[in-house]
Structure 1
Amino acid sequence: MTYKNVHLAHFINRPNRFIAECRLQETGEMVTVHVKNTGRCKELFYPEVEVALSYQPSPKRKTDYDLIAVKKDTAWFNIDSQVPNALAAQGIEAGTIILPGLKGKIVSVKREKRFAQSQFDILVETDTGNQAFVEVKGMTLENHGIGAFPDAPTLRGLKHVTELIEAMKEGYQSYVLFVIQFEKVEVATIHTTMQQALAEMILSGQKQGLSVIAYNCSVTPDTIAIEHQIPFDVTKTFEDPNSER
Structure 2
Amino acid sequence: MDFSPPLQSARLIKRYKRFLADIECDDGTVRTIHCANTGAMTGCANTGDTVWYSTSDNLKRKYPNSWELTESHAGHFICVNTAQANRLVIEAINEGRIAELEGYASLRAEVPYGEEKSRIDILLQSPDKTDCYIEIKSVTLLEDNGQGFFPDAVTTRGQKHLRELATLSQQGKRAVLFFAVLHSGIERVSAAKHIDAVYNQLLIEAESLGVEILCYKADLSSRQVSIKTRVPFSHL
C-alpha displacement of 1:64? 2.1
User: For the Cα contact (< 8 Å) 2:44–2:80, is it kept in 1?
Assistant: no
Question: Any idea what the Cα deviations from partners look like across 1:71-119, whole Å, max 9, x if unmatched?
Answer: 121121111111111111121222211337x8xx311111111212211
Distance (Å, rounded) in 2 between the aligned partners of 1:58 and 1:115: 32
Match of 1:48 in 2: 48
Distance (Å, rounded) in 2 between the aligned partners of 1:167 and 1:74: 41
* TM-score of the pair, normalised by structure 2: 0.93
Distance (Å, rounded) in 2 between the aligned partners of 1:130 and 1:219: 33
The 1:107–1:57 alpha-carbon spacing in structure 2 relative to 1, beyond 3 Å, is closer
Question: Any idea what the Cα deviations from partners look like across 1:46-83, whole Å, max 9, x if unmatched?
Answer: 21111111122432111121111111211211111111
Match of 1:61 in 2: 61
Distance (Å, rounded) in 1 between the aligned partners of 2:190 and 2:97: 21
| Coordinate RMSD, CA, aligned | 1.5
Query: What is the aligned residue count?
Result: 231
* TM-score of the pair, normalised by structure 1: 0.89
Taking the TM superposition and a 5 Å limit, the aligned residue runs for 1:147-186 are 147-186=148-187
Structure 2: gaps (5+ residues): none
Structure 1: gaps (5+ residues): 237-245
C-alpha displacement of 1:232? 0.6
Match of 1:71 in 2: 71
User: For the Cα contact (< 8 Å) 1:5–1:56, is it kept in 2?
Assistant: no
Distance (Å, rounded) in 2 between the aligned partners of 1:69 and 1:212: 26
Identity %: 23
Distance (Å, rounded) in 2 between the aligned partners of 1:186 and 1:6: 26
Which runs of 4 or more aligned residues in structure 1 lie more than 6 Å from their structure 2 counterparts after TM superposition?
none
- Letter of the structure 1 residue corresponding to residue 197 of structure 2: Q
Distance (Å, rounded) in 2 between the aligned partners of 1:160 and 1:208: 14
Match of 2:106 in 1: 108
User: For the Cα contact (< 8 Å) 2:170–2:209, is it kept in 1?
Assistant: no
Match of 2:9 in 1: 8
